[in-house]
């Protein structure tokens, strides 16, 4: 009993120590980014900014910069410079996702190998997701289009945010973490009933959410990444992404080709936005040109591709030409050229790839590839706001660490690559 009290007292004091305050700062930043009620009001944003500043003060002399950190600062310099030159200093706030991505890369490298210090906080994050999923699904039953309306910064929507209702960023952030949560849940089936219960509750709430929201890319990203986790056995992450893109085109072809599949999808998603997407796809194939929302997306994608091919090395920002605004990866390539786009893409997958790229643990390897597939599906086909960045950089590594790996399966420690990546 005395040992327990001493341990509890030590843990309590830890929260008031430098390391404890640092962890509390990071926990608040994650909650601010993933929980809709915190989207409303300057006070929450200022608190997040203060937490980030406080964390940097405590860790300034302890941080070891890796190669990806140096590259990320180069990319941030290009982005901020182009933004200021083209739109003025006031427009820097529009680059909050990039700024947060660079800062969270520092956080990730600092806690790499120490994620277990956060203890059971993953249950808090999942509980917040479950609550928001239920509240958003409830609202979607009343108004199937509400999730799409909530991408706008409209004061009339603040009442919904305060009730825990989310939109695009809530849904797509969870698409990125979905295969990892599924694996985490399976791993805890026998070893931790509480975590298993939280995992099952999250899965059920998220499935209800994406089916009611009707985001076709979210449904595809979730299904294909989960499929990869169970059935993709190769180590190559690039091939996993290529296979996912191939599956996407085959699925689109099958929908156009087979009427029974069209009818099945229309009946399954009756009353949701997916029915419109299916009809748009079929009409596009019949008319020989893109129709509806597909036409809008293709126009944006082609604008980014054209800009990239016109300015492959410098990007279009020097000539006031940019991307179409519907793909994070393609827009980055269009705006900042092959160097900028390459750095941005590497930043997105680094948190998953860095620690486990040499692992012999087949389960973790499959899970990492599935996570990268989900992230790249979202990044190539849509945008990446700061809420999604936080899920990628913070929640996925925390889940992977909790899944666990046998020490003998980690091969990258002490290798030439690990020495090169830490300066």
Q: Residue 285: pLDDT above 60? A: no
> For the residues 246-260, what does the mean pLDDT come to?
80
Domain boundaries, the chain: 2-420
Average pLDDT over residues 215-239: 86
pLDDT exceeds 80 at position 244: yes
Percent of the chain exceeding pLDDT 70 equals: 83
What was the pLDDT predicted at 125? 96
What span, in angstroms and rounded, lies between the C-alpha atoms of 281 and 16? 57
The pLDDT tens digits for 144-171 are 777 777 766 677 788 889 999 998 889 9
Which of 64-73, 114-123, 125-134 is predicted least confidently?
Answer: 114-123
Tell me what the mean pLDDT of segment 71-96 comes to: 88
- pLDDT tens by residue, 375-407: 999 999 998 999 999 999 999 999 998 887 554
Average pLDDT over residues 54-60: 91
In the structure, what pLDDT confidence band is assigned to residue 11 with cuts at 50, 70 and 90? Answer: very low
Q: Which of 191-195, 222-226, 256-260, 394-398 has the lowest mean pLDDT?
A: 256-260
Mean pLDDT of 217-236: 88
List pLDDT tens digits, range 294-341: 777 888 888 888 989 998 888 887 776 677 778 899 999 999 999 999
């Amino acid at each position: 009993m005395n040992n327990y009290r001493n341990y509890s007292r030590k843990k309590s004091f830890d929260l008031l120590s430098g390391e404890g305050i640092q962890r509390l700062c990071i926990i608040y930043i994650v909650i601010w980014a993933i929980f809709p009620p915190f989207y409303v009001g300057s006070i929450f944003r200022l608190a997040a900014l203060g937490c980030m500043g406080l964390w940097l003060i405590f860790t300034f002399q302890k941080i070891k910069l890796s190669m990806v950190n140096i590259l990320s600062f180069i990319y941030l310099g290009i982005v901020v410079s182009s933004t200021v030159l083209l739109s003025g200093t006031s427009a820097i706030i529009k680059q909050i996702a990039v700024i947060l991505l660079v800062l969270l890369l520092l956080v990730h490298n600092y806690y790499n190998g120490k994620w277990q210090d956060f203890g059971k906080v993953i249950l808090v994050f999942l509980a917040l997701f479950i609550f928001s999923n239920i509240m958003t699904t409830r609202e979607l039953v009343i108004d199937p289009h509400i999730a799409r309306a909530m991408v706008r910064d409209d004061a009339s929507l603040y009442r919904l945010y305060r009730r825990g209702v989310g939109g695009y960023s809530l849904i797509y952030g969870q698409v990125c973490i979905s295969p990892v949560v599924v694996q985490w849940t399976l791993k805890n089936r026998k070893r931790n009933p509480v975590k298993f219960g939280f995992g099952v509750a999250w899965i059920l709430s998220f499935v209800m959410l994406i089916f009611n929201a009707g985001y076709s890319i979210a449904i595809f990203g979730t299904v294909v990444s989960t499929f990869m986790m169970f059935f993709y056995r190769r180590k190559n992450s690039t091939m996993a992404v290529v296979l996912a893109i191939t599956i996407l085109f085959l699925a689109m072809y099958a929908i156009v080709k087979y009427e029974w599949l069209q009818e099945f999808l229309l009946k399954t998603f009756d009353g949701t936005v997916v029915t419109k997407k299916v009809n748009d796809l079929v009409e596009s194939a019949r008319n020989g040109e893109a129709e509806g929302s597909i036409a809008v997306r293709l126009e944006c994608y082609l604008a980014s591709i054209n800009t990239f091919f016109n300015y492959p090395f410098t990007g279009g920002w020097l000539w006031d030409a940019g991307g179409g605004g519907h793909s994070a990866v393609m827009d980055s390539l269009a705006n900042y050229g092959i160097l900028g786009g390459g750095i941005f893409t590497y930043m997105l997958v680094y948190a998953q790839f860095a620690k486990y790229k040499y692992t012999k643990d087949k389960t973790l390897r499959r899970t990492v590839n599935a996570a990268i597939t989900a992230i790249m599906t979202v990044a190539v086909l849509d945008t990446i706001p700061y809420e999604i960045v936080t899920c990628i950089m913070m929640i996925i590594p925390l889940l992977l660490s909790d899944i666990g790996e046998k020490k003998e399966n980690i091969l990258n420690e002490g290798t030439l690559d690990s020495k090169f990546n830490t300066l």
